[in-house]
Amino acid sequence: MWPLSLCIATLVAIWVTYWVYRWRNPKCNGKLPPGSMGFPLIGETLQFFSPNTTSDIPPFIRQRMNRYGPVFRTSLVSRPVIVSTDPELNHLIFQQEGKLFQSWYPDTFTEIFGRQNVGSLHGFMYKYLKSLVLNLFGPESLKEKLLPELELAASRNLQTWATQSSIDLKEATATMIFNLTAKKLISYDPTKSSENLQKNFVAFVDGLISFPLNIPGTSYHKCLQGRQKAMKMLKKMLEERRREPEKAHGDFFDYVLGELKKERSVLTEEIALDLMFVLLFASFETTSLALTLAVKFLSDHPKVLEELTKEHEAIRRNRENQCSGLTWKEYKSMIFTSQVINETVRLANIVPGIFRKALKEIEFKGHTIPAGWAVMACPPAVHLNPSMYPNPLAFNPWRWGGVESNGGSKNFMAFGGGLRFCVGTDFTKIQMAVFLHCLVTRYRWKPIKGGDIVRTPGLQFPNGFHIQLEDKV
């Protein structure tokens, strides 16, 4: 008779073997897309987050596309995931929001953004929050209020930067955009506040797309600490506003407080604070990355810079009053500028993956996506597809001539698509256009150092991008 310890060891070995087998071969009523689930629990998470310096399709995605095809399975942060580099499937994912798919992000993301963040809400609640945001960032607000404020902020900051020996453009534009947005959202003034709100978001950004290991010293831990501090500040502001209800600040926080006070309001304090947090982050980090990359591209492509400058100098020449500011009509006339912005965000691929969850079992091109599985649409694979974009790694704004790209499409998903097409798209584009207008009409610049790109898998400038600005006159 076997010793008890040997029996237990044998049973454990059998159970572990079965568990590993089931991990590598998930149950499915049909035929799963090909792929590997990686190691138990961690899956292929380490490979996914592995840093790389390529501007091409990330190695993690490229290797699996070559091996398995445009749709494959993997496991990230303990969840089974179908990765789609197929434009047809991506389009289906966006168009069937709420029917076949719904917005979903890993638990690590919801820990960072808040469990009641706008990306995790669905149906009526999502549409309601979207309408709130459009009150601030919608076309009417951009046209009537934000356009002149954006131009003033860009002009003042560029003027200050031109007096310095060099500036880190990524850091400088992030501060400029954050201060402007924080003022519109919560009347935040860094010169009058005892706490540095932006500093918390810097810590937050460093760990946003990192391996989710929550122990002291890791980027993810620092990220969560940054969120905690920022949320503490926002909650303190909310309590101060409630103590002085008669004092109006004329910002988005006032509007949100008004919604909270309404009888039977669907808005809760938790949702409101998470919304403010997400807006503060989204408004400055992605746009500053795109702007920095745009200026880097212009530095490396003098013909593009010449064409862009020509467009903006023509706008200034055609004004009756040379001292007047940008008008909405002038902004809408910036055709080549729009092409430069589209090409920049196409190559930037700031968002490496857009997550959804399958609400029911879905058949696609002979494969089955099981209900409950996560699905990740991969923008880089679409934006760098040579069949759609010849010589895809080349910075060529002229490729956008005559192409309508105000919304998402099968081949352009820099701002998402479908019902969840980014509500801040117009705000981002106008910020970039106004900044470029002020930059190319009044200044020349030269790169000093930095400009190297690392993806982890999100876009980063680890050494910044330092430039020296000087007045043209």
Tell me whether residue 7 is annotated as binding.
no
> In the structure encoding, which two tokens stand for residue 213, read together?
């290991």
Q: Binding site, residues?
A: 422
Q: Binding site for heme, residues?
A: 422
